[in-house]
């Protein structure tokens, strides 16, 4: 699937914004990269569709950029909370359809929520949650809290299930756990047969109510 008809603005090219910019460009999206710091803009220009130096907390600058033609803007200014809040306000007032914002902490997140950010992301906190589960149970490779008490996890199939059928796995036996896919290296089987037999290094992608999911995954 190509993403060349996706138009995305990234404001703030620190480590997070730059990584987004690079990955989105690799995926074929049309990326406009903006930062107040010329050095970062020069680096982003190596892969983004367009890269410009601008102060995005300035109303006039934003209106000149005509960002309302874009599908999504990400405000990836972390440290300077004032600039992040102002930029979010200016983007919303300029009519940018969807504004996602990176928050530094929960107070920053609360303000962003109140002023109308469409999605607030706390990468350090979210990554901390994911890594914690992997540290405690190393067979849990990913653990993502999807909100509303639902979580998604990627879990290694332990050697004791090698050669046994998918339907014999504890995740398949539980009616409150949804088995979304069987991952085999780079191959993802989205509709695995209950009769499929497990190979070495197989992974399962599952969802369920957060506490129930943790309880099942820990015992695997």
Q: How many residues bind ligand ADP (CB under 6 A)?
A: 22
The mark string for 2-21 relative to ligand ADP (x by CB under 6 A, - otherwise) is: ---------xxxxxxx----
Q: Which is nearer to ligand ADP, 75 or 151 (CB)?
A: 75
**Shortest Cβ 55–ligand ADP spacing (Å):** 5
Round to whole Å and give the CA distance between 25 and 49.
Answer: 7
Interaction residues for ligand ADP, span 139-198 (CB under 6 A): none
Could you say whether residue 88 binds ligand ADP (CB under 6 A)?
no
**DSSP letter for each residue of the chain:** ---TT-EEEEE--SHHHHHHHHHHHHTT-EEEEEES-HHHHHHHTTTSSEEEE--TT-HHHHHHHTGGGSSEEEE---S-HHHHHHHHHHHHHTT-S-EEEE-SSHHHHHHHHHTT-SEEE-HHHHHHHHHHHHHH-TTEEEEEEEETTEEEEEEEPPGGGTTSBGGGSHHHH-TTEEEEEEEETTEEESS--TT-B--TT-EEEEEEEHHHHHHHHHT-
**Shortest Cβ 97–ligand ADP spacing (Å):** 20
Interface residue with ligand ADP, options 60, 79, 187, 195 (CB under 6 A): 79
Round to whole Å and give the CA distance between 117 and 133.
Answer: 29
Q: Which is nearer to ligand ADP, 80 or 113 (CB)?
A: 80
Could you say whether residue 214 binds ligand ADP (CB under 6 A)?
no
The mark string for 53-72 relative to ligand ADP (x by CB under 6 A, - otherwise) is: --xxx---------------
- Other beta carbons within 10 Å of 42: 13
Interface residue with ligand ADP, options 80, 118, 142, 145 (CB under 6 A): 80
Which range binds ligand ADP by CB under 6 A, 73-81, 159-167, 172-180, 194-202?
Answer: 73-81
**Shortest Cβ 93–ligand ADP spacing (Å):** 15
Q: Which is nearer to ligand ADP, 78 or 192 (CB)?
A: 78
Round to whole Å and give the CA distance between 77 and 169.
Answer: 44
CB 84 within 8 A of CB 17: no
Q: Which is nearer to ligand ADP, 65 or 83 (CB)?
A: 83
Interface residue with ligand ADP, options 78, 103, 109, 169 (CB under 6 A): 78
Binding site for ligand ADP (CB under 6 A): 11-17, 34-37, 40, 55-57, 76-80, 83, 87
């Amino acid at each position: 699937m190509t993403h060349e008809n996706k138009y995305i603005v990234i404001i703030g090219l620190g480590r997070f914004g730059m990584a987004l910019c690079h990955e989105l460009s690799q995926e074929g999206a049309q990326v406009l990269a903006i930062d107040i710091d010329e050095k970062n803009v020069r680096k982003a220009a190596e892969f983004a569709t367009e890269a410009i130096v601008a102060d995005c907390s300035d109303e006039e600058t934003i209106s000149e950029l005509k960002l309302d033609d874009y599908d999504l803007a990400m405000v990836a200014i972390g440290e300077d909370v004032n600039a992040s809040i102002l930029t979010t306000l200016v983007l919303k007032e300029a009519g940018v359809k969807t504004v996602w914002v990176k928050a530094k902490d929960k107070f920053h997140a609360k303000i962003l929520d109140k002023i109308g950010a469409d999605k607030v992301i706390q990468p350090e906190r979210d990554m901390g949650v994911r890594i914690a589960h992997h540290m405690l149970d190393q067979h849990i490779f990913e653990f993502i809290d999807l909100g509303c008490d639902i979580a998604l996890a990627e879990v290694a199939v332990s050697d004791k299930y090698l050669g046994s059928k998918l339907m014999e796995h504890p995740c398949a036996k539980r009616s409150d756990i949804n088995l979304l896919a069987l991952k085999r290296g780079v191959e993802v089987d989205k509709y695995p047969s209950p009769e499929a037999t497990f190979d070495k290094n197989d992974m399962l992608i599952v969802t369920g109510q957060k506490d129930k999911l943790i309880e099942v995954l820990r015992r695997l």
